[in-house]
Structure 1
Amino acid sequence: MTQSRSSLISLVDTPYYHCISRCVRRAFLCGEDQYSGKNFSHRRQWMVERIRQLSDIFAINVCAYSIMSNHYHLVLHANEVEIEACSDEDICNRWHQLYSGSSIVSRWLKGELTSDAEITMALEVIARWRRRLVDISWFMRSLNEFIARKANKEDNCKGRFWEGRFKSQALLDEKALLTCMAYVDLNPVRAKMAESVEQSEYTSVFERIHGSCCEQEKACSDMTSKPLFGFVAGECNEQPQGIPYAFIDYFELVDWTGRVVSEDKRGAISAKTPCLLSVLGLDSETWLELASSFGKNYHGAVGSLDELALFAEHTGKRWISGKTKLQQMLH
C-alpha cells in the first residue's frame, strides 16, 4: 500500500535523504535508446542545470547525484538552519523564481496592506512557502515536473514521464550517509557506463574531482551556483556545515569500493583498508556489502537499530524494511 510522504520523511530524525526517480514507457532520460535510435545524452545537462537552480532556491543541499539512462539518484540535505535565517522578503524572492505569487503577498511587499487581518493572511502564505522551500517533496516535484514537460515537448507526446512518486530513503547516521553516497557515485561503474570514478560523468564525485559534471561543461561552466554539500574535515574545516569527513578519504573509499565491486573480487586489488572505515567502525566486508546492495536490500530508512526505532516512532511505523539484515551486518 502506498505510504504518505510524511511517514517516509522526518527531519526530526535526519536531514539526509536518498531519492530516486525512474522513467516510464521505455522513456530515456539520457543516453542511446536502442528502440528509437535516438540519443538523449543532452538531457543529462538539463538535469544538472535544474538541480543546481533548485539547490540555489531551496534550502536543500545536494550531497551526491548520479544521472543514469532511465533514472537518477540524489542524496539531499534539508537545511533548516538556512531557511530559518531567511527573511520574509527573501522567502518571497526565492518562491517567485519558481512559481507565481499571491496577490495579497504582492501587496504586502509594496506596503499596501492596512488591516491586521490582511497582514496576518499574507504572513501565513509566506510561512507556507518557507516550509515548502525546505521540503524534499517540493524539491523533487519542481525537478520532475520541469524535466517531464521538457522531455514530453521534445518527444511530441503527453502523459507521464516518471514512474509515479519518487522513492526516498532516510539516512539516519554517518554510516548510512557515506555508504549511500558511494552507492550513488558508483552507479555508472556498476552499469559499465564508466571504467573508473574519474570517468563517471554526470555524477557528484566527477564534479567534485573536475569541478564540473562532464568534460564538455568545463569550458563554459557557471560555478556561481551553490556548490555540492562539502566535506568539512581537514583542509575544509572552516566551513560551518557539511559532511564531517575529508574528501580525500571519501574519494579513496569510493575508488577502492568501485574497483572491488566492478571486478567482483573483494579485497583482491588492495589489502589497504581506507582509513574512513575504521573511523566509522566498519570492516571492509561490511562496507562492501552495504555499498553494493544499498538500493536493493534497504528501502525506507537506513541507520543503527536505535535510530531506526526512533524514526519508526516519529513516522508512525511498526517496522522498517531491512532491519533484520542491518542488525546482522552492523551488530
Structure 2
Amino acid sequence: MPRARKHQVSLQDTPYYHCISRCVRRSFLCGIDSYSGKSYEHRRDWIEQRLLALTDTFAIEICAYAIMSNHTHVVLHVDATRAQQWDAEAVLNRWHQMFAGTRLTQLYCVEEERENLSSGELHQVERLVELYRQRLTDISWFMRSLNEYIARQANKEDGCTGRFWEGRFKSQALLDEQALLSCMAYVDLNPIRAQMAKTPEESQYTSIRQRIKAAIKGTQPTKLKSFDSNQGEPEQLPCHLNQYLELIEFTGRAIRDDKAGHIPSSCDALLTRLRIDVENWLELTQGFEYQFSGLAGRLTALKCCRQHDNSQRIRGSGNAKRLFG
C-alpha cells in the first residue's frame, strides 16, 4: 500500500529527496512524437527554466536534474534553516513571486499600507507568514509549482484539458552520502543510458551539463547546490566538484562500454571513503530508482528512520545491505 506523503518526507531524517514525475499521455512530454512527427523539444526549455526559477522562491536547492522524453528527475535539498531566517516581508515577497497571496498580504508588503492595518489584520498576516514559510520548504508545493505550470502550458499548446501527469510525483528519501551521490549520478547519466547523448557535456537539459559548462570557467552554477570547495563545509555537497565530475565520467564510460573498466585514482578515494564497492556502484547508478522504494540509504540509516514513525517493516533492507554494505 502506498505511504502518505507526510510519512515519505521527514526533514528529521534527511533534507535530500529524489523526485520523479511521469507523463500520462501517449504523446511525449518532450522529444519527437513518432506517430504524428510533431516535435515537443521546446518543452524541455519550459521545464528547465521553471525548475531553476523556483529556487529563487523556495528554500529548496537543486542538486541534480534530468529532463527526459516522458519524465523528469530532480534531486532536491530542503534548507529549512534558511527559511527560518527570513523575516515576514521576505517570506511574503517570495510567496508573491509564484502565488497571489491575499489582499492583506499584498497590503503588508506596501510600507505605507502596512501602517494602516489593524492589530487583528496584522495577527492574521503573521499566521499566513508562518503558513507560507512552511510551504516554501515543502517539496510537494515545489513539485506542484513545477508540474501544474507545465501541465497548463502543455494543455494550452495541445488545445485540450485533463490530466497531463500520470499522478503525484514519486519521491525517495536519500538518507546518507552514499544514497545522495549515487542517486545524483543516476540522474545525471539518464540521457546516456537512454542513448540521448554520448557524453555528459552533450546531455542537454541536465544538471551535469550545467556543472561542466560552469567548471570550464572555474565556477559553479548559481542555481544548483554547490559541491564542497573548502573541504568539510556542511552547507555544500559532500565531495569536491572535480571528484564528482571524474566519477561521473568513469561511471558513464563503464555503463556505455558495458564493463567496469578502471577507476581513476582521484575517484578511488571517494569510493573508498564512502565504502561503496565498484560493481555495486555501477548497479546503483544504472537503476537507482528501482533499487529502493520511498527510502534509500545504508541499513543503519533505514532502521533509524523507521524508528521515528514506529514502522516494523524496513523496505529495501536487502538492497541496502547488498549495495551499500
Give the TM-score of the pair, scaled to structure 2: 0.92
1:238 deviation in Å?
Answer: 9.8
Distance 2:235 2:226 in 1: 8
Amino-acid identity (%): 48
Corresponding residue number in structure 2 for 1:188: 191
The answer (yes or no) to whether the contact 1:62–1:74 under 8 Å persists in 2 is yes
Equivalences, count: 317
Corresponding residue number in structure 1 for 2:142: 139
CA shift in 2, pair 1:270/1:135, >3 Å: closer
Q: Give the residue type in structure 1 aligned to 2:301.
A: E
Corresponding residue number in structure 1 for 2:48: 48
The answer (yes or no) to whether the contact 2:277–2:323 under 8 Å persists in 1 is no
What SS does the aligned partner of 1:19 have?
Answer: strand
Structure 2 runs not aligned, ≥5 long: none
CA shift in 2, pair 1:196/1:106, >3 Å: closer
Distance 2:152 2:43 in 1: 12
1:96 deviation in Å?
Answer: 0.7
Distance 2:206 2:314 in 1: 29
Residues 1:227 and 2:223 aligned together: yes
1:278 deviation in Å?
Answer: 1.3
Structure 1 runs not aligned, ≥5 long: 213-222
Structure 1, 2-11 or 167-176: larger mean CA deviation: 2-11
Distance 2:21 2:263 in 1: 35
What SS does the aligned partner of 1:97 have?
Answer: helix
Residues 1:243 and 2:246 aligned together: no
Structure 1, 239-248 or 8-17: larger mean CA deviation: 239-248
CA shift in 2, pair 1:204/1:85, >3 Å: same
RMSD: 2.1
1:16 deviation in Å?
Answer: 0.3
Distance 2:271 2:232 in 1: 24
Q: Give the residue type in structure 2 aligned to 1:52.
A: L
The answer (yes or no) to whether the contact 2:246–2:264 under 8 Å persists in 1 is no
CA shift in 2, pair 1:232/1:148, >3 Å: same
1:226 deviation in Å?
Answer: 4.4
What SS does the aligned partner of 2:227 have?
Answer: coil
Corresponding residue number in structure 2 for 1:287: 281
What SS does the aligned partner of 1:75 have?
Answer: strand
Residues 1:111 and 2:115 aligned together: yes
Give the TM-score of the pair, scaled to structure 1: 0.90
1:279 deviation in Å?
Answer: 1.7
C-alpha deviations, 1:171-197, integer Å up to 9, x for none?
A: 000000000000000000000001111
Distance 2:70 2:227 in 1: 29
Corresponding residue number in structure 2 for 1:219: none
C-alpha deviations, 1:134-178, integer Å up to 9, x for none?
A: 111100000000000001111111111111100000000000000
Distance 2:25 2:85 in 1: 43
C-alpha deviations, 1:212-265, integer Å up to 9, x for none?
A: 9xxxxxxxxxx9x9421000135xx59772102111100111111111112211
Corresponding residue number in structure 2 for 1:202: 205
1:2 deviation in Å?
Answer: 3.3
